[in-house]
Every structure is written in C-alpha cells, then in structure tokens.
Amino acid sequence: MDILITGGAGFIGSHLAEWLVGDGHGVTVLDDLSTGRRENLAALEGSNSLVFVEGSVLDQDLVRDLVGRADVVVHLAAAVGVKLIMDEPSRSILTNINGTENVLSAAIPGRKLTLVASTSEVYGKATKFPFSEDDDLTIGATRNLRWSYACAKMLDEFMALAYARDSGLPVVVLRFFNTTGPRQTGRYGMVLPNFVQSALAGTPLTVHGDGTQTRCFGHVRDAVESVVRLMREPSAQGQVFNVANDQEVSIRGLAEQVIAATGSASEIRHVPYDSVYPVGFEDMMRRLPDVSKLERTIGFRPRRPLSEIIDDIVAEKRGSN
C-alpha cells in the first residue's frame, strides 16, 4: 500500500514510517519541520520506499494531491506539547483544526482510510478513572489556554466521526497518552527526555508542583504497533481508541527512577507551575487510561515497562553526547 503520514518527520511519525517501510509499504511523509526533523528519518535515507515532502497540512492543494495518491492516511501533524501550546495558542489551534479539516476533506472523494491522532488531553479534568473512550469529557474554563489544545483535538474527533457518518469515510481516532522513547525531544516540555538529559548532565531534575501527579508512559514502539494493527482491522473503523500503557507513576517517582537508571548525582528540584508556564495553565493530578477496548479489538496493548523506556532513552542520549 501507499501510505501518507502527515507529521511523519516527528517523533511518532518517524517510527511509524520505519515500521511501514519495513513491512514493504510505500510511505510519503508530509512535514513542515516546525517540530519534526529530517534526521528522524535518517534510517530511511536513500530508500526507494520513502518520499519526503516539506510542506504544511494547511496547504489545501498540496494535501489534496498527496491524499489523492495514497491508499491510507495517518494524520499525525499537529502542534504538540503543553509548553508549545501555552506559548503559541492561536497558531496551535489553527494547525490542529484547519489541518485536520484539510486532510479529512481530501480523503472523502476516494474514501481513503484515515487515522486521526488525538490526545489524552481531551479527558480534561475528568475524575472517573480509568478513562474510557465513551466517558463524558470535562474541560476547564476558556481563560485557561491550556485547554485550547484539548478543545481543538475534540473538534478533530468530532469532524472525523461526523465525516464517517455523513460521508461514509473510514476513520479511526487515536487518543495517544504519554508516548515516549528514542528521538523524542524535550524542547516542548516532554518530561522524560528532559529528565534523562538533566540526569546525564548532572544538573537538577525539575519537577513541577509537589510531584505527586501521576502519568502513564508508553513506549513509542508499542504505540506504533497499535496504530499498524488498527490500520489493518476493519472493525476499528468509526471508533475511538486509547493508545497507551496503563502503568501509573508519579512525576517525582519518575525522576527518582531516571536518577537510579543513570547513576546520576543529580538532585530533584521542585518548582511552582507559575514559574514555568504563563498565566492560563492548570494541571491534572491523574491521567489513567482504560485500554481494554484496544486489546479486545486488535489483540494487543502497550506493555513495555517504564524501566525499558528509560533505558532506551538513556542509551540514545549517551550515544549522542
């Protein structure tokens, strides 16, 4: 098959491109390199199975042309990372909503299978755990711009499912939780690569707040395998799936594990949120996914332990220093 990956030079997209080329597919990557990097695709350099196009999902004509040539579309292009969203909220909203609209509209004429990336952020301030795909969503006040990302991705989901119902477009919505591993940059506030980099440098690991907030971290390879399996499963079409590991860890505990794994003498430093983020930020204390629907549908769920994820990131960071 010929598969178009928007945002394919990004963290998840580049790993997905490698997997699909390895499976014998032709892959076209569309990326404006605002957050993605050509180096992420270095392993596929020179491959006849990869075509790289530098451009934006906001370019309707370009998107229409590339989608028209593809058999399947995986739409990953988005403004990502809490820090980026808080720093550039208007650009983030534009990219996340208009870009998805362009991709979905282009996919309708050929009824192209389209997988649309969403996020665990859509669960917002929900207090029912674990988070299930059919749960009600509770978003904070509009003055807190942190929620603009969640609302934009909710609109992406609504658009995808509306096109599925109104136009018969085969779509799958992917709600990614904290996905991490080699190639993830800490530039946009991604916690684990930042922790590893600090530990290796012997500098303090900065924990926001009291560190008791918990998250679940999944390995990018498990996330990619989930996407590939959903792509192949007809019963997944028209549905939403949590793509996640469901093993919780506190952010303080994560910092402690990174220090132990690296043998670092770094200290853990707690800082208040308002010293890091602009006005309009609020955090959630817990984010726990229910992944039973994913496992029922594709016979697979992300299971790689946090220790393996940390070891893989440490090995990559040490190799690049």
- pLDDT attached to residue 110: 98
Query: For the chain, first and last CA: distance in Å?
Result: 38
| pLDDT for 301 beyond 80 | yes
- pLDDT attached to residue 37: 95
Q: What is the Rg, in whole angstroms, of the alpha carbon atoms belonging to the chain?
A: 19
**Which amino acid type is present at position 194?**
N
Distant-in-sequence, close-in-space partners of 76: CB < 8 Å, separation ≥ 6: 5, 6, 7, 8, 10, 12, 13, 16, 117
pLDDT in tens, 90-103: 878 888 999 999 99
| pLDDT for 248 beyond 90 | yes
Which of helix, strand or coil describes residue 143?
A: coil
| pLDDT for 10 beyond 90 | yes
* Residue 214, strand partner residues: 250
| pLDDT for 283 beyond 90 | no
Residues marked as catalytic = 149
Residue 145 pLDDT level (bands cut at 50, 70, 90): confident
- Most confident segment among 48-57, 77-86, 187-196: 48-57
Q: Tell me the percentage of the chain whose pLDDT exceeds 90.
A: 83
Q: Which of 80-84, 150-154, 181-185, 209-213 shows the lowest mean pLDDT across its residues?
A: 80-84
* Residue 244, strand partner residues: none
Work out the mean pLDDT of the chain and round it to a whole number: 93
- pLDDT attached to residue 204: 98
- pLDDT attached to residue 188: 60
| pLDDT for 129 beyond 70 | yes
Q: Tell me the percentage of the chain whose pLDDT exceeds 70.
A: 94
- Among 43, 71, 41, 70, smallest CA distance to 54 is for 41
Residue 89 pLDDT level (bands cut at 50, 70, 90): confident
> CATH top-level class for 2-180+219-244+288-303?
alpha beta
Average of pLDDT values for 12-35? Answer: 97
pLDDT in tens, 189-238: 689 999 999 999 999 999 999 999 999 999 999 999 999 999 999 999 99
| pLDDT for 320 beyond 80 | no
| pLDDT for 278 beyond 80 | no
Domains of the chain: which residue ranges? 2-180+219-244+288-303
